[in-house]
Amino acid sequence: MAERIIVGVAGGPVSDRAVDWAAARARAREESLELIAVVGGAVGAVGEPSVLESATQAAHDMLDAQVARVGPGIPITTRVLTGNPVAHLIDASADAGLLVIGSDYRGPDHGPARGPHGTRIAAGAKCPVVVVPDVTQVGRSGIIVGLDGSPLSERALAFAASEADRWGEPLTAISVWTPLSAPRNTLAVYPDMYLANMQAMTEEMQSLALAGVSSDYPDLVVERVVVQGHPSQVINSRAAGARMIVLGTHGRGALARFLLGSVSHEVLERLVTVTAVVR
């Protein structure tokens, strides 16, 4: 059965980009779309019902305009909810194949890091989440996936390889190793043998992770990158011109529903391209 893609629509250019990205994927994979807008902030103030009614109608109008903009060929439904956008989108993700949201963060030269809503949704969602930034995709190429040898990164690899194959794009697998940390002014120089062993162990881990990709996708071009550094910095620097980043993250219960692993959190805070968080 075809999966359903949910798109959180908040208005503005970034919502157009998120809907466009989701619509392109839905067409390619014969999936359906559901566009959801959430009117939040009601506190029961005097005169609020009429304001809420107007805002809800405006949200319906916005979604109708998005449906018209997408055009025929994709099954689309719309829904307008009231309340907490984070909670509603997390709840909606429970029976979706993918959740797509936009981010108005446009890079380090365009203001501060993005707010917490997107990272909270990505952390709490029950399905993979794709975060679409307000930057053009024109001229971008390649899919980046972060691999660390965990089962989560295996699922991220499966998602990334499928996307790369769908787009006819090369896949770059990035594995980053970091020497053990120590108090300042100690271990300023690491033994060469230790560094060489860290590099070799990470290369072996990555090779094992990628072993089945060529048989599943024989035409897929895969580049392997194994380097020392900080994972989020390496991934974002390599992905500056990429079509997509794919990362794995933990789903860790009620307490951690608003938390991501440090790498995925840091990448989403400094979004450089469309980024998928897979659990």
pLDDT values of the chain reduced to their tens digit, one per residue, 279 residues? 468 999 999 988 899 999 999 999 999 999 999 999 999 876 667 667 888 889 999 999 999 999 999 999 999 999 999 989 999 999 999 999 999 999 876 555 555 544 446 788 888 899 999 999 988 888 999 999 999 988 889 999 999 999 999 899 999 999 999 887 766 555 567 889 999 999 999 999 999 999 999 999 999 999 999 999 999 999 999 998 999 999 998 644 433 444 456 788 788 888 889 999 998
Pick the CATH number of 1-135 from 3.40.50.970, 3.30.930.10, 3.40.50.1820, 3.40.50.620: 3.40.50.620
Q: Residues with Cβ < 8 Å from 264, sequence gap 6 or more? A: 122, 247, 248, 249, 277
84-101: b (≥16 Cβ within 10 Å) or e = ebbbbbbebbeebbbbbb
Neighbours of 134 (CB within 10 A): 19
Can you name the residues that pair with 276 across neighbouring β-strands?
130, 246
Number of H helices, E strands in the chain: 9, 10
174-194: b (≥16 Cβ within 10 Å) or e = bbbbeeeeeeeeeeeeeeeee
CA–CA separation, 229 and 185 (whole Å): 19
Residue 223 confidence (pLDDT): 97
Residue 40 confidence (pLDDT): 82
Q: What are phi and psi of 270, to 5 degrees?
A: -120, 60
CA–CA separation, 277 and 118 (whole Å): 11
Element spanning 132, H or E: strand 129-133
Q: What are phi and psi of 174, to 5 degrees?
A: -115, 125
CA–CA separation, 10 and 102 (whole Å): 8
pTM above 0.75, yes or no: yes
Residue 257 confidence (pLDDT): 40
Q: Does domain 139-279 have CATH number 3.40.50.12370?
A: yes
Same fold, 1-135 and 139-279: yes
Residue 2 confidence (pLDDT): 60
Residue 47 confidence (pLDDT): 66
Residue 118 confidence (pLDDT): 74
Domain boundaries, the chain: 1-135, 139-279
